[in-house]
Amino acid sequence: MMTWTQTDPAAEARYRALAELEPTTAHLTSLIEALFDESWRVRRLAADKLSAATTSDSLVEALLEVLSKRGETGARNAAATALAHLGPVGVRPLIGLLGHEDPDQRKFAADILGALGRVEAAPALVAALEDVDPNVRVAAAEALGKTGGPHARAALQALLSKDDPLLQVGALEALTALNAPPPLPQLVPLVQSPLTRRSAWRLIGRVRHRAAWVLVVQALRARGTRDAALLALGGATTALGADVENELSLALSGVDDAAAWLTRCLASDDLERRTGALHLVRAVRLPELASRVAEAAEGGALAQLSLSVLLSLGTPGLVALLEGPTPALLQMSREGRSVASEAIVENASPRFVAPLTALLGAGEDDLGEVAVRALGRCESTLAIAPLLRALDDDGVSAAASRALTHLAQTFPAEVKQALAERVKGPLRPHLVRAWANVAGAEALPVLRRAMHDEAEAVRAAGAQVAMVAGAEAATLLGMAVVDESTRVRRGAARAVAGLGPEQGRALLERLLGDREPSVAALAAGAAMECGATWAVPRLIELSGQADSGAVLAAVQALMVLGGADEATLARLAAHADAEVVKLVLQEGASSPAVVAQAVRALADARWDVRVAAAQALAVGAGAAQRAALQVAVDRETDALAHEALVRALEAVSAR
């Protein structure tokens, strides 16, 4: 037995000491020194801390200084990591570094500029493609794949004809990243070399020309090139089109072991290979591969493609999943099941009623709800009986209620008749919901019973669907509003908007004053929904309460109904709860008070608040806020927030 002890007490002590340091200017020297530590953990922590430090020219300068230390590989790498996270402030000095006499520093500069991905670095990187040092040239090519830029594509294409496989691979990968395939004649010679083959085939899949697919089809026919062709298919960024699929299908039709080969490819760890195989299955339409197609979603990245291919296999594919002594669906992984279930629900047909009913009784928790959802879409009266049984199962009763409602769109009389028998017995919440949805006004006697039921869940369900009772709805809701159960009053608050602002006023006023904040919050939503402008003073009052949920609902209603003055908006835009602030910024951008708060919120610690501030300024800002936006754009390191800020700046500039 061998043991490697990772424990180094001294390094651990330095690591812990560093972990205590805040990334402030006062600790800059210590953090820079830590980049030279012999422990990579300490170096990495120092780089992380420096990445989070306030960006300044002196910080960039200090990090560039570390890059210049030959022989200090660890420190240089750590400094490069920190620079790559500092954002646009480093772009100009790094462009300067591309002209340094030391090729290592030029390579670092190209790598970091690539990681920053700023388009303004592209011209300098294009120039670096002519560097005397081959490593710098390759790094510049790879970086251009991340920055893009007007001349990047032409410059990268020119590299493909150089007699330098490393540079060619760099250029191919960069063109793939930019989704900018060169003309086919430039790629064809590169599939011959083992060094460039993989990258070249991947790019061929992105060429939007019929000739590219002819190449792929030819390659599929031969055992030796079949796997390479799969990479082209895996790189395809758009749907292949019926004609291409036909040709792919023809190409594989002569292959004896096509199904076995595709089965192996669908289970491959290589994502591109799996992607290519999925495209091929869609072309050849082999329903027996349905479970393999669903399993290809493993890891999640290919779930969408898996589902679409599974759907393309049609009913035969889904039958292959559902039927048999032990249906394939029951034997699949959770990920595969999930994709297969989606396909079954989406393409449910009368043919599936029997296997879905069996699935409902299979004891598999996750598949029960799937079976119920699919039964609701089967368009068969035979689905009614299992769905009625499912109403008694607490795990799936809510889904069964929705499924019966869905089924009633096609078979209203049959579903109603079946439910009518059930509502003669004891009531259950989802039975009440289904009955109200299906029977409409005729549900009134049952709803009256529901409102007197001992179980609060049944009374709450009755209140929630009371609007189907027409003229009697107000009476039913009146009972619910004075119910001792919060759950029932919440049900009433959800439904009361249906009475309209005047008829429902007395009930809504009571609900808005409910001592339970969650009831008041739902009532605020109801006031908004029915346009109850008389409720504005109460909503303003509610917006000053402690409960954030109630405040948020009140603010939302105020924004829709209008009536909040500038002082109220200013107060709410500076609220302690970020969700309230975001909502006011999103909905109140035309108010000067909100615009002023948005400018302050550009410096908020939360990225989502900064995004909301940018969105507000995109709508409500003028020339006066332009400078603040520009500063925010320059210092922003969060990608989503940066994008929102750039859009806001463009909107303001164009105004």
Give the residue from 396, 72, 453, 365 showing the smallest Cα distance to 375: 396
Question: How many CA within 13 A on the CB side of residue 540?
Answer: 15
Rounded Cα distance, 538 and 288, in Å:
63
Alpha helices in 239-393 (DSSP H): 242-253, 258-266, 271-284, 290-295, 303-312, 314-322, 328-331, 334-346, 353-360, 365-376, 384-390
The correct pick among 369, 483, 587, 604 for binding other proteins (CB under 8 A) is 369
- Does residue 6 interact with other proteins by CB under 8 A? yes
The answer to whether 52 and 39 have CB atoms below 8 angstroms apart is: no
The answer to whether 479 and 449 have CB atoms below 8 angstroms apart is: no
The correct pick among 279, 373, 377, 538 for binding other proteins (CB under 8 A) is 373
Nearer to other proteins, 21 or 250 (CB): 21
The residues, ordered by sequence, that sit 6+ positions from 236 with a Cβ below 8 Å of its Cβ are 205, 206, 279
Residues of 160-171 as b/e, b for ≥16 C-beta within 10 angstroms?
beeeeeebbbbb
Place of tokens 């615009």: 595
The answer to whether 23 and 52 have CB atoms below 8 angstroms apart is: yes
The residues, ordered by sequence, that sit 6+ positions from 331 with a Cβ below 8 Å of its Cβ are 291
The correct pick among 301, 441, 627, 631 for binding other proteins (CB under 8 A) is 301
* Cβ 590 to other proteins shortest distance, Å: 21
Nearer to other proteins, 361 or 412 (CB): 361
* Cβ 154 to other proteins shortest distance, Å: 31
Span of 6-14, 72-80, 118-126, 163-171 interacting with other proteins by CB under 8 A = 6-14
- Does residue 41 interact with other proteins by CB under 8 A? yes
Could you give phi then psi for residue 364, rounded to 5 degrees?
-95, 115
* Cβ 428 to other proteins shortest distance, Å: 16
Q: Is 291 left (phi over 0), alpha (psi -120 to 50) or beta?
A: alpha
The correct pick among 518, 545, 630, 637 for binding other proteins (CB under 8 A) is 518
- Does residue 49 interact with other proteins by CB under 8 A? no
Nearer to other proteins, 244 or 340 (CB): 340
Span of 7-15, 103-111, 468-476, 565-573 interacting with other proteins by CB under 8 A = 7-15
* Cβ 611 to other proteins shortest distance, Å: 6
Q: Which amino acid makes up residue 13?
A: A
The correct pick among 608, 630, 647, 651 for binding other proteins (CB under 8 A) is 608
Nearer to other proteins, 472 or 638 (CB): 638
Rounded Cα distance, 518 and 540, in Å:
16
Alpha-carbon torsion 114, 120, 121, 124, what sign? Answer: positive
The correct pick among 14, 43, 44, 292 for binding other proteins (CB under 8 A) is 44
Instruction: Give DSSP secondary structure letters for 444-468.
Output: HHHHHHHHT-SSHHHHHHHHHTGGG
Nearer to other proteins, 314 or 517 (CB): 517
Nearer to other proteins, 11 or 574 (CB): 11
- Does residue 3 interact with other proteins by CB under 8 A? yes
Locate 528 and state its tokens.
Answer: 């908004």
- CA 638 to the chain's CA centroid: 17
- Does residue 23 interact with other proteins by CB under 8 A? no
Rounded Cα distance, 474 and 591, in Å:
38
The answer to whether 216 and 206 have CB atoms below 8 angstroms apart is: no
Measured N-to-C along each axis, helices 223-235 and 258-266 cross at an angle, to the nearest 10 degrees, of 50
- CA 312 to the chain's CA centroid: 24
* Cβ 273 to other proteins shortest distance, Å: 17
- Does residue 300 interact with other proteins by CB under 8 A? yes
- Does residue 342 interact with other proteins by CB under 8 A? yes
Nearer to other proteins, 141 or 396 (CB): 396
Place of tokens 């599974």: 310
User: How far apart, in Å, do the first and last CA atoms of the chain sit?
Assistant: 72
Span of 107-115, 198-206, 303-311, 316-324 interacting with other proteins by CB under 8 A = 303-311
Interaction mask 394-433, other proteins, x per CB under 8 A: ----xx--x-------------------------------
* Cβ 82 to other proteins shortest distance, Å: 17
- Does residue 131 interact with other proteins by CB under 8 A? no
- Does residue 484 interact with other proteins by CB under 8 A? no
* Cβ 7 to other proteins shortest distance, Å: 5
Span of 107-115, 327-335, 414-422, 505-513 interacting with other proteins by CB under 8 A = 327-335
**H or E element in which residue 631 lies:** helix 626-635
* Cβ 164 to other proteins shortest distance, Å: 33
- Does residue 12 interact with other proteins by CB under 8 A? yes
- Tell me which residues in 533-592 interact with other proteins (CB under 8 A): 548-549, 552, 579
Give the residue from 621, 624, 551, 55 showing the smallest Cα distance to 613: 621
Nearer to other proteins, 16 or 655 (CB): 16
* Total number of residues that touch other proteins (CB under 8 A): 50
- Does residue 275 interact with other proteins by CB under 8 A? no
| Residues within the interface to other proteins (CB under 8 A) | 1-8, 11-12, 41, 44, 300-301, 303-304, 307, 325-326, 330-335, 337-338, 342, 361-365, 369, 373, 398-399, 402, 486, 494, 518, 521, 548-549, 552, 579, 607-608, 611, 640
